[in-house]
Amino acid sequence: MKIIKPGLQTTVQDAGRYGYQRYGVIVSGVMDRLAQRIGNILVGNDVDAAVLEMTMKGPEIEFEEDSLITVTGGDLSPTINDQSVKRWRPVYVKAGTTLKFGACKSGCRAYLAVGGGVDVPEVMGSRSTYLRAEFGGFNGRALKEGDRLTSGTPSERSKQILALFVNLDEPFIESDWSFASEWSPELRDQTVIRFIPGREWMDFTNESQELFTETEFELTPQSDRMGFRFKGEKLKRTHERDMISEGVAFGTIQVPSEGNPIVLLADRQTAGGYPKIAQIASVDFSKVTQLKPGEKVRFQKITQKEAEMLVLEQEQHLQQLEQGISLKLREGSEIG
């Protein structure tokens, strides 16, 4: 794949770099893990395989070899050879065709998965780009014009999905089946983010607990892969006490003394010293990471058990998707 135009911030990311947090090495990885997992399932990859994460303004990519791809996540108006291409489904692209992105219609981050995964060297067991420390991914940085990326060896499943496509002389062919369920980002309520109370929830005044769950918070432009800063009613603790730094996670909501919540995301630090008012339920990470500055959300309190049940439910939907693809492969239903 040759990068004709890099887009605003296009990086190679996988499921994250685990096992080095004790040295202060952050996890990194994709922001929208659900979109990445679905993308990889659709092209027959391991769910953790490396993909391209594209933000707000997507890149322009020329495929130098015939490839099996899919675009998932936010709608950045993808086109192939200037024809609109549908997302959330496997697509065959012929060598010499160009994938472009246009306006950011919904969401904020799109993902390009390719059969075999994006192949860059592993650093500390991961292909994720760690932008601030400048390592991992493609030369430790966001993609630039002229960069050339290769894909890894496709799995048997990936080859079988590609073999469903016929009429391979066309510049591209979309499959007639897609990932459609209540989990699809277009169909869910983007504005309600569910959370489990954090370790310092009880440190906040009753009034602040109510404001947190009953008023809207707006995403500010001071938001990136490290964390999202929201603004809204100021959240106050009953008394100030200096915290002892400890581990934080994807979706931890910290409140510095100024009173605005910060949601920690893929490039979060490994430990933090601000009070944790809440922890977002993992099933809602995908919603949060697709927000754009200026958009408003409400936070809704659920229990730990409810959050765990939602994780299980999501897993079942993903398994159904895998089974659905297996069925297509068994039937040998041709595409194109």
What part of residues 48-87 is at the interface with other proteins (CB under 8 A)?
A: none
Please tell me the distance from the alpha carbon of residue 246 to that of residue 31, in angstroms, as a whole number.
22
Q: Minimum CB separation from other proteins for residue 131, in Å?
A: 10
Among 3, 108, 143, 307, binds other proteins (CB under 8 A): 307
Nearest-CA neighbor of 291 among 226, 223, 231, 233?
Answer: 223
Nearer to other proteins, 90 or 251 (CB): 251
Among 4, 8, 47, 226, binds other proteins (CB under 8 A): 226
Please report, as a single letter, which amino acid is at residue 137. G
Nearest-CA neighbor of 336 among 168, 99, 171, 114?
Answer: 168
What part of residues 83-142 is at the interface with other proteins (CB under 8 A)?
A: 123-124, 132-133, 135
Please tell me the distance from the alpha carbon of residue 236 to that of residue 277, in angstroms, as a whole number.
10
Residue 305 engages other proteins in binding (rule: CB under 8 A): yes
Alpha carbon of residue 267 to chain centroid: 12
What part of residues 275-304 is at the interface with other proteins (CB under 8 A)?
A: 276, 279-282, 304
127 in Cβ contact with 11 (< 8 Å): no
Nearer to other proteins, 305 or 330 (CB): 305
Q: How would you classify the pairing of strands 83-84 and 78-80? A: antiparallel
Please tell me the distance from the alpha carbon of residue 4 to that of residue 40, in angstroms, as a whole number.
24
Nearer to other proteins, 4 or 124 (CB): 124
Nearer to other proteins, 2 or 199 (CB): 199
Nearer to other proteins, 97 or 279 (CB): 279
Q: Minimum CB separation from other proteins for residue 73, in Å?
A: 21
Nearest-CA neighbor of 19 among 111, 126, 105, 117?
Answer: 126
Q: Is residue 75 classed as helix, strand or coil in its secondary structure? A: strand
Tokens of 294: 């200026």
Question: What count of residues does the chain have?
Answer: 336
Among 271, 313, 326, 334, binds other proteins (CB under 8 A): 271
Q: Minimum CB separation from other proteins for residue 85, in Å?
A: 32
Among 20, 237, 293, 317, binds other proteins (CB under 8 A): 20
Please tell me the distance from the alpha carbon of residue 138 to that of residue 12, in angstroms, as a whole number.
6
158 in Cβ contact with 43 (< 8 Å): yes
Residue 269 engages other proteins in binding (rule: CB under 8 A): yes
Sort 218 into a burial class: Cβ within 10 Å, 0-12 / 13-18 / 19+: middle
Residue 251 engages other proteins in binding (rule: CB under 8 A): yes
Nearer to other proteins, 83 or 245 (CB): 245
Residue 216 engages other proteins in binding (rule: CB under 8 A): no
Residue 252 engages other proteins in binding (rule: CB under 8 A): yes
Residue 239 engages other proteins in binding (rule: CB under 8 A): no
Residue 248 engages other proteins in binding (rule: CB under 8 A): yes
Tokens of 4: 């004709």
104 in Cβ contact with 74 (< 8 Å): yes
Among 82, 169, 189, 258, binds other proteins (CB under 8 A): 258
Q: Minimum CB separation from other proteins for residue 281, in Å?
A: 6
Q: Is residue 189 classed as helix, strand or coil in its secondary structure? A: coil
Which residues here bind other proteins, judged by CB under 8 A?
Answer: 18-27, 123-124, 132-133, 135, 196, 198-199, 222, 226, 242, 244-249, 251-252, 256-258, 269-274, 276, 279-282, 304-305, 307-308, 310-312, 315
